[in-house]
Amino acid sequence: MDIFGALLMLRALALAPVSVIQPVSGCGLAILSVFSHFYLKEVMNIVDWVGITLAGFGTIGVGAGGEEQEAAALSIFHIPWLAFVVFILFIMLNGWLRIFKRNRREQEMMEYDVVEEIIYGLESGILFGMASVISKMGFLFLEQGFPKLLVPICIIISVCSSGTGFYYQTRGLKHGRAIVVSTCAAVASILTGVLAGMLALGERLPSAPKARLLLLLGWLLIIVGVILLVGSTKLVRFFRFSSHRFKNYGPRRSGTSRVREPSPTAVIQAATLNHLLSSSSKEKA
**Range of lowest pLDDT (21-25, 109-113, 223-227, 261-265):** 261-265
Question: Is residue 258 domain-resident?
Answer: no
**256 belongs to a structural domain:** no
> Model confidence at 26, in pLDDT bands (50, 70, 90)?
low
Residue at 274 is within a domain: no
Q: Is residue 241 part of a domain?
A: no
Helix axes 232-260, 46-64, angle to 10 degrees: 140
Structural domain contains residue 247: no
pLDDT for the residue 268:
45
> How far is Cα of residue 74 from the mean position of the Cα atoms in its chain?
32
User: If pLDDT is split at 50, 70 and 90, which confidence band does 34 have?
Assistant: confident
Residue 269 pLDDT exceeds 70: no
**Average pLDDT, integer, range 225-233:** 73
In angstroms, the CA 218 to CA 59 distance is 6
Instruction: Find the Cα–Cα–Cα–Cα dihedral 102, 105, 173, 123, rounded to 10°.
Output: 0
Q: Which whole number is the average pLDDT over 50-71?
A: 75
User: Where does the pLDDT of residue 28 fall: very low under 50, low under 70, confident under 90, or very high at 90 and above?
Assistant: low
Most confident of 35-39, 124-128, 233-237: 124-128
Say if residue 266's pLDDT is above 60. no
**Is residue 283 scored above 60 in pLDDT?**
no
Of 227 and 254, more confident: 227
User: Which of 23-27, 107-111, 251-255, 278-282 is the most confident on average?
Assistant: 23-27
Give the whole-number percent of the chain exceeding pLDDT 90: 1
Residue 81's domain spans which residues?
1-236
Tell me what pLDDT residue 40 has. Answer: 81
Indicate whether 23 belongs to any domain. Answer: yes
The whole-number pLDDT of residue 254 equals 47
At 249 the pLDDT is 64
- pTM given for the model: 0.65
Which of 56-70, 123-137, 211-225 is most confident? 123-137
Number of domains in the chain: 1
Q: How confident is the model at residue 111 (pLDDT cuts 50, 70, 90)?
A: low
- Residue pair 125/188 in contact (Cβ under 8 Å)? The answer is yes
What is the structure's pLDDT at 255?
47
Inform me whether the pLDDT recorded for 171 exceeds 60. Answer: yes
118 lies in a domain? yes
pLDDT of residue 66: 67
At 136, the amino acid letter reads: K
Please provide the average confidence, as pLDDT, over all residues in the chain.
Answer: 76
pLDDT at 267 over 50: no
Q: Quick one: average pLDDT of 69-83?
A: 72
Task: Check whether 231 has a pLDDT greater than 80.
Answer: no
In a domain, 200, yes or no: yes
Residue 195: CB atoms within 10 A of its CB come to 16
